[in-house]
Every structure is written in C-alpha cells, then in structure tokens.
Amino acid sequence: MSSPTGAGAAPAPRRVLAQTRFETRAILRNGEQLLITLILPVLLLVALVRTTVVGLTTDGATRVDVVAPGVLALAVMSTAFTSQAIATSFDRRNGVLRLLATTPLGRGGLLAGKVLGVLAVEVVQVVVLGGVALALGWQPDPSGIGAAVVAVLLGTAAFTSFALLLAGTLRAEAVLAIANLVLVVLAVAGGILVPAGALPGPLAAVASVLPSGALGEALRAALQDGVLAGGPLAVLAGWTVVLGALAARLFRWSS
C-alpha cells in the first residue's frame, strides 16, 4: 500500500473484457449451468438423431439436418434466457450487482460483460454441438451461415432481455423455478425443436410468434435451406424491443 491516491480506472474495453471472462467462467464452472447449456443439448441431439422415439416429419431431409438447428436454438435459449436469468437474479439477491457497480466497471460495463459472456458461451456451444452434429452426418447449408449468425444474435437479444426482466423484478427462488419451467415448456411446445407447423392445432399459430418458435424457424431456414427468414427475424426483433424496454424500465439493481 505505498503511494496512495489517484489510481483511476482501467480503460473501458479492458474492464468489459475482464467482466466477460469472469461471467463466462462462472457459467462454465457451475455444474447446473453446464448441465442445461451443454450436456442436455448434446444428449438431446444424439437421442433425437439416433432414435425415433420422437416422430419427425423431415420432408426428405435427413433427421440430423432438421434436429441440429433446433438443438442449437435450444442451446441459445438455455444460455441467453435460463442460465442468465438464474445467475443474474442470484447476483442481485447477493448484492453482487451493487458491489460491482461501485467499481469502475459500473452498471453499463456489468451489463455489457454479461451479454458478451452469453455470446462467449454460445460460441462454445456452437463448437461442441456443431462438432457432434457434423459427426452424426449433419450437412448445413454454408450459404446460410450469415443468416444463422443474425438469428442467433437476435435470439440472444430477445432472450437476454427476457432474462433480465425476470431477474430484475422477481425473487431469486421464483426466477429459478420460472426460468427452468419456461425452458422445458418452450422446448416441448414452443416450436424450437419441433417446427411450429408440426405442432397440433392452435399451438402451431402461437408457437410461431413466440421467440422460441421464431428462433427455431430462423435457424432451420438458414442452415437447411440457406435462407434469411424475414418473418421469424422480425418476430425476434419485436420481442427484443418490447422485453428490452420493459427490462430497462423495471429492472431493480438491489433486492
């Protein structure tokens, strides 16, 4: 503790980068988070491709070509929504958001670090899931990779906004329950794994305007057919605007 004063802040990019690394490590090191973001999606991918327990209409495509984009969409949802909502709500309850906001990182840097942390985990997911899918014979359309990246970014924005809305307004225990429940319900009936059109009756219409259905649809269009699907992307953008505005208004930094 020699010379006392006038230290000053580290440059903003360095602060945000440090926070990104910190958040990424926190997710990848937490057993439950790892289970929902990586292990379950991998198991699901293998099970859906290798078994026919779940009937799929593939319209002539291979099973893996239909399943892989859906599992990627699910993985994005688990990281950007479920994992982020749970982590942020407990950070809020434990005062972590308050403490970090008193360092030069500030609230803006903290949020930026969280969002970039989500994207970093998604890169890990894409590498792992993509590798497994390729090994299972997946043949994505290379011309759709740009569209897929757009879909992942918009899906991440919509789901992270939703995560922050829950985490910043409800008790941590409630967020834990809701975030897991929503993940399961949307995985089964939200048009993310099974195309919305294949869902029974009115569910098909509902699922296609949910962020889950839109993300699944956009990724399947991109990676199966190399198409930039305007409709689903517009749905994701709409959810981002609405949920983001609500989160910005209602988010409370302390519990």
Choose the stretch contacting another protein; rule: CB under 8 A; options: 12-20, 58-66, 123-131, 137-145. 12-20
Looking at residue 244, its amino acid is: G
String of contacts with another protein for each residue 27-66, x by CB under 8 A: --xx------------------------------------
Q: Are 234 and 213 in contact (CB under 8 A)?
A: no
Neighbours of 244 (CB within 10 A): 17
Taking Cα atoms as reference points, which of 174, 165, 187 lies closest to residue 77?
Answer: 187
Residue with Cβ nearer another protein (105 or 158): 105
Structure tokens given for 127? 């590498």
Helix (H, G, I), strand (E, B) or coil at 138: coil
**In angstroms, what is the minimal distance from the CB of 33 to another protein?**
9
**Polymer length in residues for the chain:** 255
Interface with another protein (CB under 8 A), residue from 57, 58, 103, 143: 103
Instruction: Report how many residues bind another protein under the rule CB under 8 A.
Output: 34
For residue 169, state whether it binds another protein (rule: CB under 8 A): no
**In angstroms, what is the minimal distance from the CB of 74 to another protein?**
24
For residue 98, state whether it binds another protein (rule: CB under 8 A): yes
Render the burial of 162-187: b for 16+ CB within 10 Å, e for the rest.
bbbbbbbbbebeebbebbbebbeebb
Choose the stretch contacting another protein; rule: CB under 8 A; options: 94-102, 142-150, 195-203, 238-246. 94-102
CA distances from residue 250 to 86, 95, 108, 245 in whole angstroms, order as listed? 17, 18, 16, 9
Q: Give me the residues that bind another protein (CB under 8 A), please.
A: 1-10, 14-15, 18-19, 22, 26, 29-30, 90-91, 94-106, 254
